[in-house]
């Protein structure tokens, strides 16, 4: 039987980073990564292979190249059994590999709800991280004129915009009152929705799907209000489920939502077994509640933590919860969010103060590439600690969102943010005199000061 010091199951973002960080932290150890498919997709780039990119070949993670460059063994195979008692795994080929430490990064699978009548008809697609499936899906969509996308989270929004670029008539259906409802407060969601509709996507909100109509193939979708929309295909973007069947069969403890239970070092309840990424349990950084957040950025943070703690625990290097930092783009517009929304904060019982400032990301605003920029911050009223924020702007929105995420993770107060020094340049940022992030903080500080009078 073949043996390795560290065995990583899964070749996407979580597995890749766990291997790289682990090898960097423990260079004397032998690392082996097993991936189910020869070619691994870049998860966040999947929507763009249907419009912006010419093919899925332009959206591949160079896993083998990165592993070889760092002295990590990379294998293609499917693990069908984890034998935790004997510290080995069994592959579908019959091969067995022994390990000292095991990292499970099996990811997630797209949801195809059993309650949805007609979900198994020809022409109903989900969005897996599977190159073969996606290539076949793309080929099937060629020549189609009408597409309905169900679910207006980030992936649903991105898919809708990409398919519209191909000249298709696209309808995006969302059960909640606004698109991106979990990530943005309503006053920002409606602005994003208008940008999407201005680009030609038909958006229906507050009305979910009830049934996929047709005989063997899709003919339309029936909504909860009885409306029927004719379509050539349906794309279900209704969330993802943790891919934990392998762990469950091995007797590794799962929570009630089938996520692998882990601690802040990313250890499972089994000795020498870690779990990272979409398959691993998450807690919200602010509320401390378990949440189903599935993000490559979160997965990579968890993977770094696991890699550094494989053979010796470091109390400084722990994962204290997901801040849920999201960002996306529609054309020239960028959007981002970090932490919790004002709406969610109120639901959880936080007393908050918010600040929203609208500015521009260049100075003077007449410079090429200038774009309107909106920043909203959410702070806990009594402490002034920043617990959430959102950005709508141009291409700089993503990095500004990351800055808000850092402020949240380091429990910065509004006063600390106001007194922070920011580097600016006319061609790169907003004016230092009207920096939207700082101005939004100033608005909160003013409200807090006035409430104390």
Element (H, E) at 223: strand 220-223
Inter-helix orientation angle 13-25/296-308, to 10°: 30
CA pair distance 445, 447, nearest whole angstrom: 5
Check if the beta carbon of residue 141 is closer than 8 Å to that of residue 162: no
Interior/surface letters 156-185, b for 16+ CB within 10 angstroms, e for the rest: bbbbbbbbbeeebbbbbbbbbebbbbbbbb
Q: For domain 2-109+241-308, give the fold.
A: FAD/NAD(P)-binding domain (3.50.50)
CA distances from 55 to 168, 259, 368 (A): 18, 33, 31
Superfamily of segment(s) 112-238 = FAD/NAD(P)-binding domain (3.50.50.60)
Burial class of residue 85 in the structure, from the number of CB atoms within 10 Å of its CB (0-12 exposed, 13-18 middle, 19+ buried) = exposed
Q: State the DSSP code for 317.
A: S
Listed by start position, the domains of the chain span 2-109+241-308, 112-238, 334-451
DSSP string, 393-453: ESTTHHHHHHHHHHHHHTT-BHHHHHT------TTTS--TTS-HHHHHHHHHHHHHHHHT-
pTM tops 0.85: yes
Let me know if the fold of 2-109+241-308 is the same as that of 334-451: no
Each residue's pLDDT expressed in tens, for the chain with a length of 453 residues? 999 999 999 999 999 999 999 999 999 999 999 999 999 999 999 999 999 999 999 999 999 999 999 999 999 999 999 999 999 999 999 999 999 999 999 999 999 999 999 999 999 999 999 999 999 999 999 989 999 999 999 999 999 999 999 999 999 999 999 999 999 999 999 999 999 999 999 999 999 999 999 999 999 999 999 999 999 999 999 999 999 999 999 999 999 999 999 999 999 999 999 999 999 999 999 999 999 999 999 999 999 999 999 999 988 889 999 999 999 999 999 999 999 999 999 999 999 999 999 999 999 999 999 999 999 999 999 999 999 999 999 999 999 999 999 999 999 999 999 999 999 999 999 999 999 999 999 999 999 998 877
Strand order in 372-380's β-sheet? 326-330, 333-339, 386-393, 372-380, 352-360
CA pair distance 202, 229, nearest whole angstrom: 11
DSSP string, 44-75: GGGGGGGTTSS-GGGSEE-HHHHHHHTT-EEE
Secondary-structure class of domain 334-451 per CATH: alpha beta
Check if the beta carbon of residue 16 is closer than 8 Å to that of residue 66: yes
Burial class of residue 233 in the structure, from the number of CB atoms within 10 Å of its CB (0-12 exposed, 13-18 middle, 19+ buried) = buried
Check if the beta carbon of residue 354 is closer than 8 Å to that of residue 421: no
> Residue 377 corresponds to which tokens in the numbers above?
């911050």
Secondary structure of residue 24 in the 3-state scheme: helix
């Amino acid at each position: 039987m073949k043996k390795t010091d560290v065995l990583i199951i899964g070749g996407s973002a979580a597995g890749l980073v766990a291997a790289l960080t682990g090898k960097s932290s423990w260079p004397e150890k032998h690392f082996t990564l097993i991936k189910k498919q020869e070619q691994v997709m870049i998860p966040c780039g999947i929507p763009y292979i249907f419009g912006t990119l010419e093919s899925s070949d332009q959206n591949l993670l160079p896993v083998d190249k990165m592993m070889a460059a760092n002295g990590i063994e990379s294998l293609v195979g499917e693990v069908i059994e984890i034998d935790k008692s004997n510290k080995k795994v069994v592959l579908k080929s019959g091969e067995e590999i022994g390990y000292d430490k095991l990292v499970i990064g099996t990811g997630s699978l797209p949801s195809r709800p059993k309650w949805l009548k007609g979900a198994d008809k020809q022409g109903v697609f989900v969005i897996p991280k599977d190159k073969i499936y996606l290539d076949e899906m793309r080929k099937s969509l060629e020549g189609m004129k009408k597409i309905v996308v169900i679910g207006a989270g980030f992936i649903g929004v991105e898919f809708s915009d990409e398919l519209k670029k191909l000249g298709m008539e696209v309808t995006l259906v969302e059960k909640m009152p606004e698109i991106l409802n979990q990530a943005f407060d309503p006053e920002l969601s409606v602005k994003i929705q208008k940008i999407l509709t201005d680009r030609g996507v038909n958006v229906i909100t507050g009305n979910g799907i009830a049934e996929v109509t047709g005989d063997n193939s899709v003919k339309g979708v029936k909504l909860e209000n009885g409306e029927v929309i004719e379509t050539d295909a349906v794309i279900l973007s209704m969330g993802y489920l943790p891919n934990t069947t392998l762990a469950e069969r091995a007797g590794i403890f799962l929570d009630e939502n089938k996520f692998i239970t882990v601690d802040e070092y990313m250890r499972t309840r089994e000795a020498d077994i870690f779990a990272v990424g979409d398959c691993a349990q998450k807690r919200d950084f602010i509320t401390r509640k378990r949440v189903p957040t599935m993000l490559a950025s979160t997965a990579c943070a968890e993977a770094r933590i696991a890699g550094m703690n494989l053979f010796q625990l470091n109390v400084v290097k722990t994962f204290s919860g997901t801040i849920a930092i999201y960002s996306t783009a529609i054309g020239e517009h960028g959007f981002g969010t970090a932490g919790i929304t004002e709406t969610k904060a109120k639901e959880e019982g936080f007393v908050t103060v918010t600040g929203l400032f609208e500015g521009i990301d260049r100075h003077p605003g007449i410079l090429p590439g200038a774009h309107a920029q909106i920043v909203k911050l959410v702070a806990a009223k009594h402490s002034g600690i920043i617990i959430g924020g959102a950005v709508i702007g141009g291409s700089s929105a993503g990095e500004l969102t990351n800055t808000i995420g850092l402020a949240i993770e380091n429990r910065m107060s509004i006063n600390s943010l106001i007194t922070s020094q920011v580097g600016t340049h006319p061609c790169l940022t907003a004016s230092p005199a009207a920096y939207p992030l700082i101005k939004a903080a100033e608005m909160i500080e003013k409200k807090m000061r006035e409430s104390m009078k």
